[in-house]
Amino acid sequence: MTDIAAIILAAGKGTRMKSNRAKVNFPIAGKTMLQRVVQTAQKAGCGKICVVVGYQMDQVMTSLIRSPKSECGEPEFSTPIVRSLKSEEGNRSGAGLSFVEQREQLGTGHAVQMAKQDFIDYQGDIFILCGDVPLLKAETLVNMYRRHGATGALATVLTAYLDDAGKYGRIIRDAGGMICGITEYKDATPEQRLIREFNTGIYCFNAFALFEALANIGNDNEQREYYLTDVIRILHDRESVVESVVLDDLMEASGVNSQEQLAELEDALYDSIRKHWLNNGVVIHNPASVVIGEDVMIGTDVEIGANCILEGRCQIGQNTFIGHNCLIHNAVIGTDCNLDGNSIVSNCNIPPGSHLHYRNDVISEANEGNRYER
C-alpha cells in the first residue's frame, strides 16, 4: 500500500487495570499491546506512524523504542510536543515513527487533533488505531484500505455485530443503508441501544477531510468530550462517501480494559498458536499447559511435553523431542534432538542429533559436535 499512515491512540492510563503502569505497556504473549499495534500498522504498509501518548509517556516511548523489532534508535526531539524517531534505514517496514503528547484527556477527537501538526504536508490516508486493541490483524487493515480506495470514500469504518453490543457505540445508517453517524452508548436512545452493529474504533480517513472535520466538532455530549465519531456525521452531512467493512473475527476488535480481559486475550492468542502447530504435524501433550510464542518455528514430527514454554525467536528442527517442563528461549535446536525434561535452553544453538539429559541447563552457545551430552 502507498500513501497510508496511522495514528495510534495510546494516551490513557487505564484505570480499570488497577495498576500504576500505563495500560498500553502491559504485555500480551511477550510483547506490549502498543508494540503489537505498531507492528500491525507496519505490516499493513504504513509509511508513517504517529503515537499519541500521555500517561507515563516516557515509559511508553521507551518500551516501544526498545521493542525487539524496532530499529529506530534513540529519539530525536523536534519540538517540546512532537518527538520523532527515524533511523537512517528505517525500521523493519521502513515506517517513520513519531510521538505526540496529549496533555489533557479530552476525548478521541481531541487526541487525533493533537497529531495534526505531524501531518501538515501529508496528503494521503490515515488509519486511526487503538493502542489497547492488540489482536487486530494487518490483513484486516489491508482489506479496509482496498475498500476505502475502491469506493472513493473519505472515511471507512470497521464495524462488527453482536446480539448485545454492550457499551460499544452504535452504527447509525440512513434509509439507503449508508452510515450517517455513530452514537456513543451513553448518548444513545433506548431504540439505538438495540442496534446490533457497533463501532470497533478502527477507521481509515482521508487526511485532509479528517482534520478539516475535526475543526468543527464540539463536546456537547454526556461525557463532555470531543468525539472522533462526530467526524462521520459531519462527512455524511456534506454528502461525502462514508464506507464500512464488517469484521467477522470479533477477537480482533477486542479492547483491553481490565487484567481479566488481558488474560482472556492472551489465552486466545496462545490457543490459536497451539492449534496452528497441532494442524501442522506437531505433537503437543496437554496443549493447554504449553506456551508457544509467535516467533517460534517448529518442524514436522516434533513432540513437545507438558508444561513447556517456547518463547522469543526459536527454531525447532524436525523429529526433535522436547520433554516436559522445558524452557526454550531464543534458541535454535537442530533436527533429531532429544531434550529430556526440566531443561533450560537459552540463547544458544544446539546441533542436530544432540541429547540433553534430564535437568540440563544450556544458557550459551553450544560447542561444535554431533551430540550434546552433559
Return the HEC string of 138-199: HHHHHHHHHHHHHHCCCEEEEEEECCCCCCCCEEEECCCCCEEEEECHHHCCCCHHHCCEEE
Q: Are β-strands 327-329 and 344-346 bridged in parallel, bridged antiparallel, or unpaired?
A: parallel
> CA nearest 92: which of 122, 119, 72, 76?
72
Catalytic hit among 16, 146, 238, 371: 16
Q: What span, in angstroms and rounded, lies between the C-alpha atoms of 346 and 311? A: 10
Q: Within 10 Å of residue 330's Cβ, how many Cβ atoms?
A: 14
- Residue 327, classified by CB atoms within 10 Å of its CB into exposed (0-12), middle (13-18) or buried (19+), is middle
List all residues 6 or more positions away from 261 whose beta carbon is below 8 Å from its beta carbon.
Answer: 254, 255
Q: What span, in angstroms and rounded, lies between the C-alpha atoms of 360 and 345? A: 8
Q: What span, in angstroms and rounded, lies between the C-alpha atoms of 252 and 33? A: 13
Determine whether 66 is an active site residue.
no
The three cell numbers locating residue 275:
492449534
Sheet holding 314-316, edge to edge: 296-298, 314-316, 332-333, 349-350
CA–chain centroid gap for 143, Å, is 16
- Residue 185, classified by CB atoms within 10 Å of its CB into exposed (0-12), middle (13-18) or buried (19+), is middle
Q: What span, in angstroms and rounded, lies between the C-alpha atoms of 27 and 165? A: 27
The three-state secondary structure class of 346 is: strand
| Residues annotated as part of the active site | 16
